[in-house]
Amino acid sequence: NFMLTQPHSVSGSPGKTVTISCTRSSGSIASNFVQWYQQRPGSAPATVIYDDNLRPSGVPDRFSGSIDSSSNSASLTISGLKTEDEADYYCQSFDNSNVVFGGGTRLTVL
Amino acid sequence: EVQLVESGGGLAQPGGSLRLSCEASGFTLSSYGMNWVRQAPGKGLEWVSYISSSGTTIYYADSVKGRLTISRDNAKNSLYLQMNSLRDEDTAVYYCARAHDFWSAYDYWGQGTLVTVSS
């Protein structure tokens, strides 16, 4: 089984752009789709990016996803930061019959 | 409106059992795969188990294999998680989450039910 490693925390000011990375420990990041979930305090998770770079309806285009095979990582970029973006963000992918979540990144909007 | 409502959580002793339920509404449960995902207090998300739309394909995380059993009753619009031989480390909020299939994102989540394992 592989692991997905995320930074413990990131921060940014309103209106700025932040990027959260998700590095796969073994196997290619491109071999299975990556999802990103947002979890606000006291709430259930919600999808913000699926299949590497697709946004569910209702998610603003300030959220974007990408993968980079050279670093074997996925990234979630949030532009035009708003205070409502303050939350925990988790990446997720698959391997055979196993589902792996990253450890989560706390985004603080200063 | 799609809704997933978990129930059945509570306090259990180590070695004890609990049965969680997830009642689905607003969509046809038999068309979707379903998952259980848990979150220990102050910790991250951990996938627990998946069951296909028909119930014929089932996967478990290694940490729960042999102790937790996922099942579904499409006629009752319900998903279940039978939890046996409970351990302290099973203490968590348990979420049910909908997916088109095993390889799909979870597009709807319930609000979760808390399971506490303690003597």
- Distance (Å) from the alpha carbon of B117 to chain A's nearest alpha carbon: 21
Tens of pLDDT along B73-97? 999 999 999 999 999 999 999 999 9
Residue percentage of chain A with pLDDT more than 90: 96
Which of B47, B103, B106 has its CB closest to that of A33? B103
- Chain A contacts of B111, Cβ < 8 Å? 43-44
Q: Is the pLDDT of residue A1 over 90?
A: no
| Residue that has been written with the tokens 């963000």 in this structure | A89
Q: Chain A residue closest to B35 (CA)?
A: A99
Half-sphere exposure of A30 (CA within 13 A, CB side): 6
Inter-chain contact A101–B47, Cβ cutoff 8 Å? Answer: yes
Please tell me the distance from the alpha carbon of residue B21 to that of residue B12, in angstroms, as a whole number: 16
B 29-88: CB under 8 A from A:
35, 37, 44-47, 50, 59, 61-62
Tens of pLDDT along A28-60? 999 999 999 999 999 999 999 999 999 999 999
